[in-house]
Structure 1
Amino acid sequence: MTIARAAPSQPARPPAEPAAFLGEIGKLRARLATTGDEIRAAQRLRHAVFSAEFAAPGDEDGIDADGYDALCDHLIVLDTAIAGTDTDRIIGTYRLLPQQNLAGRPFYSDSAFDIGALLERHDGRRFLELGRSCVLPDYRSKRTIELLWQGIWAYCRRNAIDVMFGCASFAGRVPARHAMALAFLHHHARATGDWSVTARAETRVDMDFMPAEAIDLKAAMRALPPLIKGYLRLGATFGEGAVIDHAFASVDVLVVLPVEQISARYVSYYGADADRFAA
């Protein structure tokens, strides 16, 4: 799906809240949403993308929202060449839920995965849940992904985050359609030891669709969604078992990414620019 945008006609305005600024590459800028209108614009973008690609529900106003949005920071990517206000320029978004904002509530992912056990094993570490990631189809480029991660890295530095985690999705409600990709994650990228996480028994779908020796590694990598490939490159591992999200028509896996395990070359790559915005 392509959403039409106005032609570039005016220079970008700097964000009203400099503290929200998290990164910039070319005409694209990453920052936190600072107004209710910007958050609603991000929710509208989420609905447009999710309803087209995952048959996800939304409200009558075309908004994807839930009770966690009020607890989250909303990372937005703006195309500063688009005419209008910044609410018109949002082309990508990521929802960021730091542990200190929970106020006694469980993380969003806890309904499907046993996040509590992970937190107990790492008491004292600061966790950040990543979710609701989406980018308009015309902007799904290496540059946009790099800027999203530059922004997330700057946010982690500002907030002293130790561990990132969250759900990532395969399209559709039939796990067997993703058998090789899920088996690849199970055999070659499963979180183990203190970082292991399991899907809850009542919703769990086993990912062990085939033995490790039957997996065509190149084919499995091609079958992975771009977001999951990106997590793998950073050094992420994945929980035991998947879950079917019937509302979003997706098969979800849990990503676990301790900051200390991020590949050194990516820390160097993203950090060089992100450190400018981490103060």
Structure 2
Amino acid sequence: MLPKMPSLTKGRYSARIADTPEDVKQAQALRTHAFATEGQDADEFDKICTHILIEEVRSGTLVCCFRMLPLNDGSEISRSYSAQYYELSALERFEGKMVEMGRFCIHPDWSDADILRVAWGAMTAYVDDNDVQMLFGCSSFSGIETADYLDAFAMLKARHLAPKRWLPRVKAPDVFRYAARLRRRPDAKKAMLRMPPLLRTYLMMGGWVSDHAVVDRQMNTLHVFTGLEIGAIPPARKRLLRAVAG
């Protein structure tokens, strides 16, 4: 397990690592509420992940959470949550430390953009403190109707597909092969409006995605594998992130 991240406070919000089983239960409760799942949103990965909690300082309300699974290098990629849905053998050659970020959610009643900024600040602090070279995970679109997101998928095809050396292959039984099927030119405004905020941030930093989306009927989402090589983040963006993390 990688060393712990120091707590971080910026403005109204603070970020910290979950220290107790009760902290993890609170994260699971927020996930259940945010994802509207039947039964508690919990799985075996919760036991091996580091959970990050973003709280409103004054009230102590949990407004955002996510979990991180550290890997020493790509040889451990099969341990990840994402490996259940994507064939990731290409990434087994990745030589640096990796962290899978998952189950990211923001409380449905809280829409402050600073929450996402503090979350990324916490991730940046963790990445810097532990010499992480790649972040990855599954970025989810709400619902499973592909027609709602055709411009977004066309934009991903046009500008953001993974490099061939890292490209995930199909593993899940139900997928939307958007890169092969779509021939439309994306409407940039519509595409960004329908792009999930977390994925939008990944892309702004130079992130890339799989050429297909997995149809997850249990979670009622479409998701794409998303990778971000830390060395590829533009310097100006790194400075902004470190200003929050610092």
Query: Which residue does 1:255 correspond to in 2?
Result: 226
2:16 corresponds to 1:44: no
Q: 1:174 to 1:132 in 2, by over 3 A?
A: same
Q: Hey, what's the Cα distance between the residues in 1 that align with 2:86 and 2:124?
A: 25
Q: 1:215 to 1:273 in 2, by over 3 A?
A: closer
Residue 20 (structure 1) shift: 4.6
2:51 corresponds to 1:79: no
Q: Hey, what's the Cα distance between the residues in 2 that align with 1:37 and 1:250?
A: 28
Q: 1:270 to 1:103 in 2, by over 3 A?
A: closer
2:69–2:99: 8 Å Cα contact kept in structure 1?
yes
Q: Which is worse superposed, 188-197 or 102-111?
A: 102-111
1:112–1:203: 8 Å Cα contact kept in structure 2?
no
* Letter of the structure 2 residue corresponding to residue 57 of structure 1: E
CA-atom RMSD in angstroms: 2.1
> Could you give the per-residue CA deviations for residues 29-66 of structure 1, whole angstroms, max 9, x where no partner exists?
00111111011001100001100xxxx232xxxx3110
Q: Tell me, which stretches of 5 or more residues in structure 2 are unaligned? A: none
1:110–1:116: 8 Å Cα contact kept in structure 2?
no
2:10–2:244: 8 Å Cα contact kept in structure 1?
no
Q: Where is the strand percentage greater, Structure 1 or Structure 2? A: 2
2:182 corresponds to 1:210: yes
> Could you give the per-residue CA deviations for residues 228-279 of structure 1, whole angstroms, max 9, x where no partner exists?
21111121111111110111011111111010111221100111342x4xxx
> Could you give the per-residue CA deviations for residues 118-176 of structure 1, whole angstroms, max 9, x where no partner exists?
1x221x31111011001113333221111000000101112211100000111112223
Q: Hey, what's the Cα distance between the residues in 2 that align with 1:48 and 1:249?
A: 14
Q: Hey, what's the Cα distance between the residues in 1 that align with 2:149 and 2:15?
A: 32
TM-score by length of 1: 0.80
Query: Which residue does 1:93 correspond to in 2?
Result: 65
Query: Which residue does 1:241 correspond to in 2?
Result: 212
Larger Rg: 1 or 2?
1
TM-score by length of 2: 0.90
2:12 corresponds to 1:31: no
Residue 210 (structure 1) shift: 2.9
Query: Which residue does 1:57 correspond to in 2?
Result: 38
Q: Tell me, which stretches of 5 or more residues in structure 1 are unaligned? A: 1-18
Q: Hey, what's the Cα distance between the residues in 2 that align with 1:168 and 1:29?
A: 24
* Secondary structure class of the residue paired with 1:162: strand
2:60 corresponds to 1:107: no
Count of residues in correspondence between the two structures: 241
Query: Which residue does 2:143 correspond to in 1?
Result: 172
Q: 1:230 to 1:127 in 2, by over 3 A?
A: same
Q: 1:199 to 1:141 in 2, by over 3 A?
A: farther
Aligned residue among 44, 53, 56 for 1:67: 44
Q: Hey, what's the Cα distance between the residues in 2 that align with 1:27 and 1:223?
A: 28
Q: Hey, what's the Cα distance between the residues in 1 that align with 2:70 and 2:172?
A: 26
* Letter of the structure 2 residue corresponding to residue 108 of structure 1: Y
2:48–2:69: 8 Å Cα contact kept in structure 1?
yes
* Secondary structure class of the residue paired with 2:162: coil
Query: Which residue does 1:3 correspond to in 2?
Result: none
Between the aligned residues of both structures, percent identity stands at 28
Query: Which residue does 1:147 correspond to in 2?
Result: 118
Residue 115 (structure 1) shift: 2.1
Residue 78 (structure 1) shift: 0.9
